[in-house]
Amino acid sequence: MSPQRRNQGPLLRFTKMHGLGNDFMVVDAISQPFRLRPEMIRELADRNFGVGFDQLLVVEPPGLPDVDFRYRIFNADGSEVEQCGNGARCFAKFVRDQRLTNKKVIRVQTARGVIELRVIRDGVVMVNMGVPELNPPAIPFAAERRKTVYSVEVGSQTIELSAVSMGNPHAVILVDNVDTAPVSELGPRLENHPRFPSRANIGFLQILSRSRVRLRVYERGSGETLACGSGACAAVVAGCLRGLLDNRVEVELRGGRLTIEWQGEGSPVMMEGPATSVFEGQLRLPGDAAGSRRRKPGRPHNKQRH
Ligand SMILES: N[C@H](CCC[C@H](N)C(=O)O)C(=O)O
């Protein structure tokens, strides 16, 4: 986004937010026109040359009769994805702060279904994250049949993992100590493993007790984040299915704590946690930002399998 080109396009208003340090650029695409190519999203995600964020969250008008908004999610690599739990809490705070609604129970349509956001008080939101998907083809994960723990070959290693979808795909690996877990080495190799045809978020789970865990997540399309809401949900589901956790679990992430509840197969995962606004900003997009087909030279097109 060269400076001289910066002054050609429209001004874009946004709010910078985070959920336990998992940070977002949030855009109201109802009150202002907004459409960005993946390359532009990658530029805006850059923490030196752009705004800097793990995900871009976009608020759009509803596409279904019984929902309040459409909720679109883009990773820092520009890939559009199906779910973002920390983002959902921030979404609820954003639409109320921006006076787009005064509801305290907000139904939003994502790429993988409808989720319900319940504002407990300002800055604290409970999200019904939906029923986890465990059947391999729906995750998607390549396996002959559904198992609680799969063995996956990564180079010369065999990794034991659980596979869960919260709308987005997750692998969950048990570790003795998240502080020494091979997040940066194993995370990207599993994120892009062929058995995850849509890639995956990789969670490293340390069990402290039946109601307390620690978790680090190497996120699909963004790398390790300080917190991952859908990852916390997937980790609790995996731990419960392994018989290691009770129904209500405190998940300690590097950015803070989430409360996750799951009553077992067929029931939705409930997540409660904070949502924080940091600042409001505006930026001028390059004149051709809004989606002309001309590709920018130079940047390798990111490997996106969506
Ligand atoms: N990286 C994720 C999207 C964001 C999830 C995370 N930030 C959360 O809070 O759930 C994916 O590609 O599925």
The pLDDT assigned to 7 comes to 54
Mean pLDDT, rounded, for 219-240: 98
Half-sphere exposure of 162 (CA within 13 A, CB side): 26
Which band of pLDDT confidence, cut at 50, 70 and 90, is reported for residue 130?
very high
Mean pLDDT, rounded, for 134-146: 98
For the Cβ of 78 lying below 6 angstroms from any atom of ligand 1, the answer is no
Instruction: Select from 20, 84, 90 the residue to mutate for testing ligand 1; criterion: most ligand atoms less than 8 Å from CB.
Output: 84
- CA angle at residue 64 from 53 to 125, to 5 degrees? 45
Which band of pLDDT confidence, cut at 50, 70 and 90, is reported for residue 302?
very low
Share of the chain above pLDDT 70, in %: 91
How far is the CA of 119 from the CAs of 85, 116, 273, in angstroms?
14, 10, 10
For the Cβ of 15 lying below 6 angstroms from any atom of ligand 1, the answer is no
**CA Rg, the chain, in Å?**
19
* Closest approach atom of ligand 1 to CA 54: 7
Instruction: Select from 75, 141, 237, 303 the residue to mutate for testing ligand 1; criterion: most ligand atoms less than 8 Å from CB.
Output: 75
Half-sphere exposure of 224 (CA within 13 A, CB side): 18
Q: Rounded to an integer, what distance in angstroms lies between the CA atom of residue 214 and that of residue 205?
A: 6
* Closest approach atom of ligand 1 to CA 22: 7
Residue nearest to atom 4 of ligand 1 (CA): 84
With a cut of 80, say whether residue 218 has pLDDT above it: yes
Residue 247 neighbours by CB under 8 Å, 6+ apart: 240, 261, 262, 263, 264
ipTM: 0.98
Known catalytic residue at 228: yes
The pLDDT assigned to 1 comes to 47
What torsion, rounded to 10 degrees, do the Cα atoms 153, 154, 158, 160 define? -90
How far is the CA of 104 from the CAs of 95, 118, 157, 241, in angstroms?
10, 6, 48, 32
Question: How far, in Å, is the centroid of ligand 1 from the Cα of 83?
Answer: 6
In the chain, the largest separation of any two C-alpha atoms, in whole Å, equals: 59
- 261 annotated to a ligand binding site: no
**Tens of pLDDT along 82-125?**
999 999 999 999 999 999 999 999 999 999 899 999 999 999 99
- Count of CB atoms situated within 10 Å of the CB of 173: 22
Mean pLDDT rounded to a whole number for the chain: 92
For the Cβ of 55 lying below 6 angstroms from any atom of ligand 1, the answer is yes
Which band of pLDDT confidence, cut at 50, 70 and 90, is reported for residue 2?
low
The pLDDT assigned to 229 comes to 98
Two structure tokens written together for 73: 């999610």
Known catalytic residue at 240: no
- 9 annotated to a ligand binding site: no
Residue nearest to atom 5 of ligand 1 (CA): 84
**Tens of pLDDT along 12-55?**
999 999 999 999 999 999 999 888 899 999 999 999 999 999 99
**Tens of pLDDT along 260-284?**
999 999 999 999 999 999 999 999 9
Which band of pLDDT confidence, cut at 50, 70 and 90, is reported for residue 5?
low
Q: Rounded to an integer, what distance in angstroms lies between the CA atom of residue 188 and that of residue 200?
A: 9
Question: How far, in Å, is the centroid of ligand 1 from the Cα of 201?
Answer: 7
The pLDDT assigned to 245 comes to 98
The pLDDT assigned to 288 comes to 61
With a cut of 80, say whether residue 300 has pLDDT above it: no
Q: Rounded to an integer, what distance in angstroms lies between the CA atom of residue 185 and that of residue 7?
A: 41
For the Cβ of 81 lying below 6 angstroms from any atom of ligand 1, the answer is yes
Contact present, 225 and 76 (Cβ < 8 Å):
no
